[in-house]
Amino acid sequence: MNQPASSLSTAIPTPLRWVGESDGHLEVLDQTLLPTQLAWIACRGVDVLVEAIQSLRIRGAPAIGIAGAYGLVVAAREAVDAGFMPERARSHVRQQAEALACARPTAVNLRWAVERSLAVLERAARDASAGAIVTILLDEALAIHEEDRRLCTAIGRYGAAILPAGDLLTHCNTGTLATGGDGTALAVITTAWQEGRRFMVFADETRPLFQGSRLTAWELVQRGIPVTVLVDAAAGQLLRTGRIAACIVGADRITAAGDVANKIGTYSLALLAAAHGVPFFVAAPSSTFDLSMDSGDGIPIEQRDGDEVLRPLGRAAAPEGAHAYNPAFDVTPARLIRAIITERGVIEPVSRNRIEEILLGH
């Protein structure tokens, strides 16, 4: 289904949806076409979903985690269609699970959701048919999707309670389009707005793929929240004016020490915020934490195609023969972060002990 994005109501479309029952299929919203066009991609094969994840047709750490869970359902449907016996069906799902988990290496939610669903499959009866496996995995994917919706609401509530009054600066997209609910950092912003607070949201355009200007600004306009788009390099000048009360971003992986991997440009923004005495907040679900990783030094940083830099939006921005440096993420050390907002509470100060206290109850 294609339609002009301008024809939408104020409801923001979900980034993915399961259509039908156990004999149905997955659809993902092609976010590369926003904000001008809405198009859904039917993912009846795992290869189609992997391509959608890698090409950022679906993106945002929580959303691709949910997509990974549904991807195992798609794999099980493949087994049904191929007429596989139970053991071969399980083997096929495991094989496709690894392809899904590796589709994007930095965001930990993807592997987390895939492994959680695999664990459910391993607990199922050994002689369960391929059809039964589809039902088992679909139930788990739907549960993960619903859990994300609820935790987005909790993150919004916790974050709005600590957000200082005044205008806000955000980076990349952390809203409905990136999650199974209202978002992470953007949920904090929209919750504060719904509670009656008034402010301007400044959205970095977020080069090279413009998730801030194409997606975040579009979500905020749909919700009636005032938004101003700025080029990433203008953030320092904006902070220097004293107008910004806080910066708030999302995350793709958070270590045991509280170091945060997020969209490229986040680290620069955190440094600028620190230099100007502006609090820097991160909002993310507990599934984004990788407590097996000690510090940010070990986080794998995805390197993407140089054409995203050299030919943004399909137009040449550099001469033939020029090279591009295009890391998708960077790492912000815990010392630059005022607090991390999760569905389980606020981690402040950002320290190992406080992370364990909030996430593990220690």
- pLDDT per residue over 296-322, tens digit each? 999 999 999 999 999 998 999 999 999
In this structure, are 51 and 142 located in the same domain? yes
- Beta carbons of 349 and 293 less than 8 angstroms apart: no
In this structure, are 323 and 176 located in the same domain? yes
Q: Is 196 left (phi over 0), alpha (psi -120 to 50) or beta?
A: left
> pLDDT grade, residue 9 (50/70/90)?
very low
Q: What is the pLDDT, as a whole number, of residue 3?
A: 54
Domain containing 294: what range? 155-360
In this structure, are 110 and 226 located in the same domain? no
Tell me phi and psi for residue 281, to 5 degrees: -110, 150
β-pair partners for 265: none
In this structure, are 84 and 180 located in the same domain? no
In this structure, are 221 and 116 located in the same domain? no
In this structure, are 146 and 223 located in the same domain? no
Strands 260-263 and 253-255: antiparallel
Q: Average pLDDT, whole number, for the chain?
A: 96
**Token pair recorded at residue 339:** 């607090």
Output the domain CATH number for residue 344.
Answer: 3.40.50.10470
Distance CA 71, CA 140 (A): 11
Output the domain CATH number for residue 35.
Answer: 1.20.120.420
In this structure, are 162 and 299 located in the same domain? yes
Domain end call among 150, 179, 210: 150
Domain end call among 150, 176, 205: 150
In this structure, are 318 and 178 located in the same domain? yes
In this structure, are 70 and 204 located in the same domain? no
Domain end call among 150, 185, 216: 150
β-pair partners for 25: 19
What's the total number of domains in the chain?
2
In this structure, are 67 and 166 located in the same domain? no
Tell me, yes or no, if the pTM score tops 0.75: yes
Compute the 3-state secondary structure of the chain and give helix, strand, coil in percent, each to the nearest 5.
50, 15, 35
Q: Is the pLDDT of residue 177 over 80?
A: yes
In this structure, are 354 and 327 located in the same domain? yes
In this structure, are 273 and 224 located in the same domain? yes
Catalytic positions are: 252
Q: What is the pLDDT, as a whole number, of residue 6?
A: 44
Over the stretch 195-254, which tens digit does the pLDDT of each residue have? 999 999 999 999 999 999 999 999 999 999 999 999 999 999 999 999 999 999 999 999
Q: What is the pLDDT, as a whole number, of residue 11?
A: 77
Neighbours of 228 (CB within 10 A): 13
Instruction: Work out the average pLDDT over 35-64.
Output: 97
